[in-house]
Chain A
Amino acid sequence: MARIIIDPVTRIEGHLKIEVEVTNGKVTDAWSSGTLFRGIETILNGRAPDDAWLFTQRLCGVCTYVHGVASVRSVENALSSKIPSNARIVRNLLMGGQYVHDHPVHFYHLHGLDWVDIVSALSADVNETSDLAKSLSPNAPAIDFASIKTRLQNFVSSGQLGIFNGGYWGHSAYLLTPEENLLLASHYLLALRQQLIAAEMHAIFGAKNPHVQSLKVGGVTCKFDITSERISKFRDLLTQMRQFIDTVYIPDVKYVAKKYSSWKSIGGFNNYLCYGDFPLNDAASDLLFPGGYILNKGTSVSNVDLSQITEHVNHSWYSGSALHPSVGQTNPAYDSYNTDSRYSWLKAPRYNGNAMEVGPLARILVAYYKNSSDVVSLVNSLLSDTGLNAAALHSTLGRAAARALETKLIADKMDGWLNGLDPNGEVLTATTVPSTGSSNGYGINEAPRGALGHWIDIQDGKINNYQMVVPSTWNLGPRDSNDVRGPVEQALIGTPVEDASKPLEVLRIVHSYDPCLACAVHVIDAKKDKSYIVKVS
């Protein structure tokens, strides 16, 4: 039995650390440790509720918009403010833009290199790669593979792997041929270019790239950006993204799923939670992603009752007991890292006592088993093209595939949403926070990484308490007060680990959740010290 600790070492405490126990080449136990949003209350308490979103969107470098919109929704909920149609659509477009940006980046630039061996790509035959590209997706953009190969070779020959430093290149768990690796490495570069388009799209109604400035309690402020010219610019950029999704992203995900078919039974979890989002009418009675939860890999979906959420702290560095987030407390009580007692800055959120996975797979499964027609046809096409069955969705592959399918779903729908914008319509419902009295509310949404909730308590016009339950707390939180593991801890069990000093398989599962933890600090560090420390004992 060996213990493997994977710890991205940084100057500050607080990045994700995964510890696994490996017996006879398989993971037999796992612990996930991380930190998040310590002390946000100290900044928000006493401030004006309608300013909170300006701070919450700075919490995280990637999930900016989602924390902004959760915050304004919490105040709107507390004050029973209804937003106009234009505002609903603009918010859907901004959230949709976030998905279309983040999900391809996740597949190609974060998760992709768990499947694609960049160094192997250097020995590819470029003509064979070109043939493979044509057979895989005839309408994909033409790529000069010889030139890409030379660029990669120059990177490696100069000893400057740069962003490819620290990978487990040559690991036997990499199963693709050199040509397949070169094809996907080329798409890595293509996707970077594509990302510029997605970022530009987000700026059209966001008022200012890159931080969205156009949110406001009661709606949005970009009234003068709703013009036929801007709508058509948005549509042009969206069309380019949709072509990329249809001819590159979706075919690549299906291909990887076929080549790594053993991963259809590795890294899965049992329970799924989706709050639901993308309101398709002003009453929010119809959602693109319906809300619901599924237990024990079931095929029936139950309705979500937010009062069933509690956050446990028995294995977290906080004092107190399991509480609902509306009355949540954040009382740090750090002692030491000990997997037998407390080992994480994350709390352990539970739904009616159950650990729940949130995110793309939860959304897709809930919609699929609620017979949402668009999702049913996307999932069925995935299953028939890859030869997988519905049970295989409960896996690492299922998670990656669900992310791609929902990217296509949203990108396709956004085109129609643009038609609903009315250049002469209102964008804002005037909403004033009363200077006396108390109220409380919640703002929930489906961030790309999963179900996100902000809970606000307002007293005499000021914030009295503010709590957030974020997607990665659901997915990467520690054990609860009944010692039940969190989703990623459970998902890791049974994973084969070929070489304990290079736990590529463990990283595949952790990355499949698109972890969102280390968002606080981005300074330049003089030392090259940010690689994983892998300790084996």
Chain B
Amino acid sequence: MGTRSILVLGVGNILMSDEGSGVYAVRTLEATYSFSSNVSFLDGGTLGMRLLHPISLAYSLIVADTAILGKAPGTISRLTMDDIRMRTVLKNSMHQISFSETLTMAEMMGILPATTIITIEPVDIETMSVELTPVITGKMNSFCEILLSEILASGGTYKSRNHVLNKAGSF
């Protein structure tokens, strides 16, 4: 990635229903549009600290994730580092180093790019399933559109691959 590179990073567990919303959004964007060469996409899964390396290479970071903010399911929100910095505490396992911790670690290391986090309020993140719930599936176009506007704002461009948005939430 060169300078001004934009990393669009989808995070979440695709085996846990809406937990994988961010990953689905990134997959959908990649399948539906072609982007300027400074835009790259990554399915970050739940890898936490392993994402520090790709994060360190980006000039701007746009994260697509699920967030429980107490809003109506499907509500899309825009967060910044100030919103998540204080939500991190010591954990008893690497497996509890969440994505918030990863971003805080990147900040402490001085490698965190300009970061925007676009989140969607889930319906169900507990059922083991590779399908999104219908409410979140219905919101996937809006989720993607907001991510597209962030990509534009960060200096990326895109054009449609000339077919309708894939049905999100299924393999």
Question: Could you tell me which A residues sit within 8 Å of B by CB distance?
Answer: 6, 8, 11-12, 15-16, 38-40, 42-43, 55, 58-62, 64, 101-102, 105-106, 109-110, 113, 151, 155, 160, 162-167, 189, 192-193, 195-196, 199-200, 203, 209-211, 507, 510-511, 514-528, 530-532
Contact = CB atoms under 8 A, between A and B. Distances in A.
B88 A163 contact: yes
Given A11-B68, A162-B108, A166-B89, A192 B45 contact: no
B71 to A, nearest CB: 9
B109 A193 contact: yes
Contact of B101 (A58, A64, A163, A196): A163
Q: Which of A58, A192, A511 has the most CB of B within 10 A?
A: A58
Contacts of A516: 93-95
Nearest to B91: A8
B56 interface: yes
Interface residues of chain B: helix, strand, loop or mixed (majority): mixed
A515 B95 CA distance: 8
A279 B68 CA distance: 45
Contacts of A192: 52, 105, 108-109
A527 B70 CA distance: 10
Contacts of B122: 523
Contacts of B119: 524
A165 B89 contact: yes
Interface of B: 11-16, 19, 42-54, 56, 65-70, 79, 84-101, 104-105, 107-109, 117, 119, 122, 125-126, 128-130
Contacts of B66: 523-524
B92 to A, nearest CB: 6
A165 B91 CA distance: 9
Given A210-B54, A524-B98, A526-B67, A162 B85 contact: yes
A8 B96 contact: yes
30 contacts: A8-B91, A11-B68, A15-B96, A64-B47, A106-B94, A109-B94, A165-B86, A166-B90, A189-B109, A196-B56, A200-B53, A210-B44, A210-B51, A211-B45, A511-B92, A515-B95, A516-B94, A517-B95, A521-B13, A521-B46, A522-B11, A523-B125, A524-B66, A524-B68, A524-B87, A524-B98, A524-B119, A526-B68, A526-B70, A530-B98
Contact of B90 (A39, A163, A514, A528): A163
B101 to A, nearest CB: 6
A522 B99 contact: yes
A518 B95 contact: yes
B18 to A, nearest CB: 9
A117 to B, nearest CB: 13
A339 B11 CA distance: 36
A43 B20 CA distance: 15
B15 A209 contact: no
Contacts of B104: 162-163
Contacts of B69: 526
B98 A517 contact: no
A6 B86 CA distance: 22
Nearest to B67: A524
B68 A521 contact: no
Given A160-B85, A166-B89, A530-B89, A521 B109 contact: no
